[in-house]
Structure 1
Amino acid sequence: MSSAWMEKTYTIDGCAFHTKFRRGSSGVTIVFEAGYGTSSETWNPLIADIDDEFGIFTYDRAGIGKSGRSSAKRTADQKVKELESLLHAADVKPPYLAVSHSYGAIITGLWACKNKPDIIGMVLLDPALGDCANSSFIPEEMHKADTSKMMTEGTHAEFLGSLQILKQRQVHLENMPLLVLSSGERTTQFTTEQDWLNMHRSILTLSHQSGWIQAKNSSHNIHHDEPHIVHLAIYDVWCAACQQAVPLFQAVN
């Protein structure tokens, strides 16, 4: 099967979205969801070393990278609708394996709740979700964002609103393989390292087949600092999804 990349722009509700897609020999497509205010180019070094057996889909959310701005609300439920529309427009069919970073995990989490049969597993990189819906919490990339990004990607209030939407619609993922990767070198002042790790451990209750890994030599951008760990996590989730027999993960304490 050809692994040629297709780079296309699709218009959804009046907004032009930039996408990049290749098909894989296994029929499974990895759908990548970047962090707050971050373009899909953040994944380029990581996806360069992913085998052709996996399809890959990346895109820029509205107002980010090569995508146009949208007049629609910028809460997670709207962004999930846009993702679903893009996958349909690009003819990217399930099954999907979701990989998301930080704020992107909110979108992935809500997407998985809506489309559980279509998603075979998830890898969450330093996710900005869990028991963190309080007024002081800000994802690291949101803290660094300028006003223009907040106008296009969403304000802190919309971020908290997205967390509440996810909390209201959260369903148990049953045996969906789920791996949470936490950074080992945090710099943000808004949460202590222990609070951050506790938030991540709380996510593990969403699946009967979940695991946690701390990337001790990584900053918030684990996929940049230790991409080999992310590659292994993707393959671990893929193997677990294929077997669906005994849990393959062991939490790292």
Structure 2
Amino acid sequence: MLRTLHPRALIVLFAIGIALPGLAVAQKPAGANIDAGGYRVFTAVSGSGSPTVVFVAGLGEDSSTWDKVAPEVAKFSRTFVYDRAGLGKSQDAPGPKDMDQMLNELHTVLRNSGLKPPYVLVGHSLGGAIVEIYAHRYADEIAGLVLVDPEDGRLLELLHAHLDKADWDARQQMLEKMMAAASPAQKAELEASKESGKLVENSLPLPAVPTVLLTGTLKDPGFPGNPMEQDLKMQLHKELLAQSPEIKQVLAPNSRHYVQEDAPELVIQAIRHVADQTRTGSPKRNPAVMTKEKPQA
């Protein structure tokens, strides 16, 4: 999706994203640089109580993408945010930046943080794909999942197959102009994302833990291919629900890709529902009722 609200452009899965200023923080997070295996990753912990809610940002994004959500979640549970290698305040990783590196990085940083599992993982965009794969590889560490408009490499493949040549070329030209401002780490994550589709497919169905899937539904006719992209994304989300029918989907009618910025209350509510279920020892299923965002008049 295309975001042009701030001069600091960050690549999301197939376009550019913007991290907006966050809400006032009631408690200043405790920042720490944690060893991730030969390099150090910036992390911040806030709040208290279990489960620990771990936030995983989208492609090319740092932890500031959660500024409207994490401070509110810290009022009812411990939160953990971090910047992946080469992004935000984190050092670059010495080796190639691929999906395995990003997954191993998260696992190592969580282990070295001293925060005990199981965790509630919250992932946006490519971060949602990371969360899905992580939940498969380390199922015993997972208490619940919140997937915020997740995307993986399959979406680009489908879009390429469905768009006519003129629309595809126009889209690629616009993205190439945007990518000129991207950092090496952001470009590397974009390349790594192309392998994510098969890894996500091999990770399904998801573990039978409380899970909420939030789907942005607004379309952007001004960006080449976006209306089609939204339809194909919805198709992939429906396939996820078919494979893991216990997942609760929440549609965000006033949001596109960045639900955590357009409708942060929906993300906060989803995390609260999942966290509450883990605390009460409820059956491993999703909430029966979720309040949807009301369309604007």
**TM-score normalised by the shorter chain: which range applies?**
0.7 to 0.9
Question: Is contact 1:212–1:250 with CA below 8 Å preserved after alignment?
Answer: no
Q: What residue number does 1:164 align with?
A: 198
Q: Aligned equivalents of 2:158 and 2:190: distance in 1?
A: 9
Q: Aligned equivalents of 1:189 and 1:93: distance in 2?
A: 44
Q: Aligned equivalents of 1:136 and 1:106: distance in 2?
A: 18
Q: Give the structure with higher Rg (CA).
A: 2
- Find the residue that maps to 1:117 and give its secondary structure: helix
Q: What residue number does 1:210 align with?
A: 247
Q: Aligned equivalents of 2:34 and 2:207: distance in 1?
A: 34
Q: Aligned equivalents of 1:199 and 1:58: distance in 2?
A: 27
Residue 182, structure 1, aligned to residue 215, structure 2: yes
Change (3 A) 1:189 1:212: farther
Alignment of 1:28-39 (within 5 A): 28-39=51-62
Which amino acid counterpart does residue 15 of structure 1 have in structure 2?
Y
Which amino acid counterpart does residue 69 of structure 1 have in structure 2?
D
Question: Is contact 2:68–2:261 with CA below 8 Å preserved after alignment?
Answer: yes
1:38-97 superposed Cα distances (whole Å, 9 cap, x missing partner):
110111221222254411000001111111222322222211100111111111111200
CA RMSD of aligned residues (A): 2.8
The unaligned stretches of length 5 or more in structure 1 are: none
Change (3 A) 1:247 1:221: closer
Q: Aligned equivalents of 2:235 and 2:128: distance in 1?
A: 16
Identity between Structure 1 and Structure 2 (%): 25
Report deviation, 1:186. Answer: 3.1
- Find the residue that maps to 1:19 and give its secondary structure: strand
Q: Aligned equivalents of 1:233 and 1:210: distance in 2?
A: 12
Question: Is contact 2:217–2:251 with CA below 8 Å preserved after alignment?
Answer: yes
Q: Aligned equivalents of 2:183 and 2:126: distance in 1?
A: 13
Residue 223, structure 1, aligned to residue 260, structure 2: yes
Change (3 A) 1:172 1:155: closer
Q: What residue number does 2:236 align with?
A: 199
Which amino acid counterpart does residue 224 of structure 2 have in structure 1?
Q
The unaligned stretches of length 5 or more in structure 2 are: 1-26, 161-167, 169-173, 293-297
Q: Which runs of 4+ in 1 moved over 4 A?
A: 135-138, 142-145
Alignment of 1:43-82 (within 5 A): 43-82=66-105
